[in-house]
Amino acid sequence: MAGMGVGSSGAPTDRMEDSPSGASTRGPHRLSAVRVCERKWAFRYHWDFRPPARADKDWRLGGTLIHLCLAYYYASRMPVETQPHWFKVKDLYQALKDEGQGRDHVIESAKASLAAYMQEYAADDIRPMWIEKEWTAKLGELDPGGPWPELDDEEVTCRSDLVYELTRSGFGNIMDHKSFGVSKTRRDGTLVKWSPDGEFSLNWQILVNLQIVRAELLRMGRDPTWLRGFVIQRCTRNSPYVFDRNVVPISQAAYSYTPRLLRKAVKMELDLMARIEAGDAPDPNYDACYGKYGPCDYIDVCRAATDEQAKAVLLRDFERKISV
């Protein structure tokens, strides 16, 4: 892991970010939240009540640290002049310490996973192009002639783990890293068999990423068809550290429908914002309180007996960067 950050010089190609982690500004999670539960969207994106980082469970932190390790690994393989800013201002060891919340066992697992990954893919046919970049597109670029033309200049965003070029073919792909803990692996700790019909076969995040990255490539003057597809890079979070890499089949119909859905989600978001600012309360959706990753972050707020108690939970258990 030598050479993982700091000591390089040259102009960064991306925004001057000090960390490779962070959510996308108006990305697929946010635009999904507004459809799933108005109240959840409002807590998180309108009033900015965030669960404190220290509350991260080990599995969530483990996934974050593996992303961090892979971001530094691929940045170390870029030409110095295109390496991201965060790679130049902080090395991987310091980044792990800063993000690791003092949980050394999770940090050590992430480091061991990276060491195994580097060995597994030592002969990789990959040229990293953009790492943890936030991509943007205007609705008018994605969905020309769509309804509510006043929304054409509204931007939607996504953040991709890695956009790379296959050195042999010269074509590009988006890679998304997915890590799996013991509860999601086989009894012997290895990955369950990849299924092309599984959870990623029709996936909002993937469709949005492909649309937005291609739109920005076009704006950069590049051929958007250079970007061929989306790859899920899987790994285990604990020993044995095993990996596989899978190309996701994309439905052309679903891909074509995605820009209109983005426009509708932005419309919903702006309408909801106007309602809240006019004094209306965002509706809860009690059908969305438990998902595949467990309870909603705000479940203790919503199961409080009174509004006053709910407010007290919000103020006690959440952090806020802006005031309301």
Q: Using CB under 6 A, list all residues that contact ligand SF4.
A: 37, 39-40, 284-286, 288-289, 296, 298-299, 302
Residues near 212 by Cβ (< 8 Å), separated by ≥ 6?
Answer: 135, 136, 137, 142, 156, 157, 158
Using the minimum distance from each CB to ligand SF4, give the nearer residue, 37 or 107: 37
What angle do helix axes 252-277 and 28-36 make, rounded to 10 degrees?
A: 70
| Residue 14, both tokens | 């991306």
Whole-number minimum distance, CB 46 to ligand SF4, in Å? 12
Using the minimum distance from each CB to ligand SF4, give the nearer residue, 36 or 191: 36
Q: How far apart are CA 95 and CA 13, in angstroms?
A: 20
Using the minimum distance from each CB to ligand SF4, give the nearer residue, 5 or 28: 28
Whole-number minimum distance, CB 312 to ligand SF4, in Å? 16
Residue with tokens 């989600």: 265
Using the minimum distance from each CB to ligand SF4, give the nearer residue, 33 or 266: 33
Using the minimum distance from each CB to ligand SF4, give the nearer residue, 129 or 302: 302
Using the minimum distance from each CB to ligand SF4, give the nearer residue, 49 or 200: 49
Which stretch of DSSP H or E encloses residue 25? Answer: none
Q: Where are the alpha helices (DSSP H) in 121-251?
A: 139-142, 204-219
Which stretch of DSSP H or E encloses residue 118? Answer: helix 104-120
Q: Where are the alpha helices (DSSP H) in 199-251?
A: 204-219
Using the minimum distance from each CB to ligand SF4, give the nearer residue, 14 or 297: 297
Whole-number minimum distance, CB 69 to ligand SF4, in Å? 31
Whole-number minimum distance, CB 61 to ligand SF4, in Å? 21
Q: Which segments within the chain are labelled E, that is strand?
A: 49-50, 126-138, 155-166, 172-180, 227-236, 243-247, 290-291, 294-295, 319-320
Q: How far apart are CA 160 and CA 147, in angstroms?
A: 28
Q: What is the CA radius of gyration of the chain?
A: 20
Closest CA to 292 of 202, 191, 184: 184
Using the minimum distance from each CB to ligand SF4, give the nearer residue, 51 or 140: 51
Whole-number minimum distance, CB 307 to ligand SF4, in Å? 13
Whole-number minimum distance, CB 290 to ligand SF4, in Å? 8
Q: How far apart are CA 297 and CA 155, in angstroms?
A: 26
Whole-number minimum distance, CB 183 to ligand SF4, in Å? 22
Whole-number minimum distance, CB 34 to ligand SF4, in Å? 11
Is 184:192 a contact under the CB 8 Å cutoff? yes
Whole-number minimum distance, CB 301 to ligand SF4, in Å? 7
Using the minimum distance from each CB to ligand SF4, give the nearer residue, 39 or 67: 39
Tell me if residue 197 falls in helix, strand or coil. Answer: coil
